[in-house]
Amino acid sequence: MLFKSLLAVAAAAVSMVVADDLPAIEIVGNKFFYSNNGSQFFIKGVAYQQDVSNSTDTSSFVDPLADADACKRDIPYLKQLSTNVIRVYALNVSLDHTDCMQMLQDNDIYVIADLSEPDMSINRDDPQWNVELYNRYTGVVDLFHNYTNVLGFFAGNEVTNEKSNTNASAYVKAAVRDTKAYIKAQGYRTIPVGYSANDDQDIRVSLADYFACGDYSDRADFFGINMYEWCGSSSYKTSGYSDATDDYKNLGIPIFFSEYGCNKVQPRKFQEVGTLFGSQMTDVWSGGIVYMYFQETNDYGLVSVKGDSVSTLADFNYLKSEMASISPSSAKSSDVSSTTVTSCPTSTSNWDASTELPPTPDDQVCNCMSDSLECVVDSSVDSSDYGDLFGEVCGNIDCSGINGDSTTGKYGAYSPCSPKDKLNFVLNLYYLDQDKSKSACDFDGSASIKKATTASSCSSYLKSAGTSGLGTVSGAIRTTSHTGITATGSSDSGSQTGSSSDSGSSSSSSSSGKKSGSAKLSVDVVARSLLVGAFVVVGSLVVIA
């Protein structure tokens, strides 16, 4: 009887959560809309993450959504600023975010989260999209997909920031593609995935076009630009907002300021707010995210926080006043009949990223390759010494099978693998090139011979890649989530509430608050989840009314 009573409480709690869920935000054309009524959604955002680390030794950043006391402290101030979106730059997937996410939902605040973190992101100087990054990105998705107040994810932030490193964008776009594919394969609701760029005059148009072009499965769902052109007293024309609006007026996906709020003139009076949400810009722009909530050494803060105490700064009151005075004109999703199809940028002196994207990282492919080798790096070799071995081996053989060139669009089949797997591959390649001479697998004790094994499931991968690794391997997007729940079924317009479609003249992406696809969970897991949810969720609901 007690168990039945607990289940009744759990069911009531779950029912209450579903009833109180914020409607998911969907994309139609170049705008955001509420999925429940089709009215336009404008981002009235604040960047919410501290720069300075006061975290544990195991983390290089402070996760703002894992501190329920801080969320309880700060959300009332965010609400004073009319905030409906916060941006968070790094999340710790080992921590619990339930309380903060529920408090944000109770206060009608959505979240746009960066998928990377300081020690795990795509490096513009040596760009890669590999298994480790793939696991990081999809791990964040697994942790947050069930919250309907997750508006979307950023797959990168200012990775390409000037014309000398435009090639890095191919790796970020591959991350967009694979994150979207993972979400679909898991049967999760459709959650938009986009990119946040800096405002470099030489490349900004090509950069936006690059992420917005191509098939729906490859392109970004939205584009953010970190915009700091309006400083002090300015205007639509003199600030550069007019030129930017003209530059992006034909972009086929939503665009917004992923950061704004120049601090060269202080206090910041945020006079740009009325223009950003005014009639000259709202047909192109979907709002923006003010940088930033916390006062740090960079002097962009809206508030100063000391322990449990919050002190508002001059910028806070100016922003509060400006946000309270806006009333942007709103479109309806039903009014959008077709959308602009964005053409990919051509190669120029300012733009050199191929539309051919790097392969999807797949640890099964990498494991198959590594298991099939005879000559591998010795276990005694420290990873810090791999560079010397790569240099020695690749000076004698062609290592294209582990490398990628995003300017030509040529990628080795094993380019997404870990450094150790890639080193194993080239060591073995050299060993084969030397007719398996024992001395060819030594390198002063840094390499050793092992027994090669090839599972039947690996044969097709290895055959496709070829001995040199220059072939094309089509690894499947994994359908096993990092939480241990296996999702089955596929997402498409006929089977899930959120849908996406693509045609020659229009595209649309929509999200709903309900998870679709079928998830196989044991009865005891469901029961335990319900019981935990009954107490955790009810408890968090009373934190902030």
Q: Which residues are catalytic?
A: 158, 259
- 445: region left, alpha or beta (phi > 0 left; psi from -120 to 50 alpha): left
| Residue 35 half-sphere exposure toward CB, CA atoms < 13 A | 23
* Cross-strand partners of 27: 32, 509
End-to-end CA distance of the chain: 32
| Tally of CB atoms within 10 A around 405 | 16
Helix, strand or coil, per DSSP, at residue 502? strand
Dihedral over Cα of 299, 300, 302, 308: its sign: negative
Helix (H) or strand (E) holding 26: strand 25-28
Asked if 519 and 498 count as a contact pair (C-beta separation under 8 A), the reply is no
Helix (H) or strand (E) holding 210: helix 204-212
Residues 32, 29: Cα–Cα separation, whole Å: 8
Asked if 343 and 391 count as a contact pair (C-beta separation under 8 A), the reply is no
Q: Which residues lie below 8 Å from residue 335, measured CB to CB, with a gap of 6+?
A: none
Radius of gyration of the chain (CA): 25
AA identity, residue 155: A
Dihedral over Cα of 274, 276, 278, 280: its sign: positive
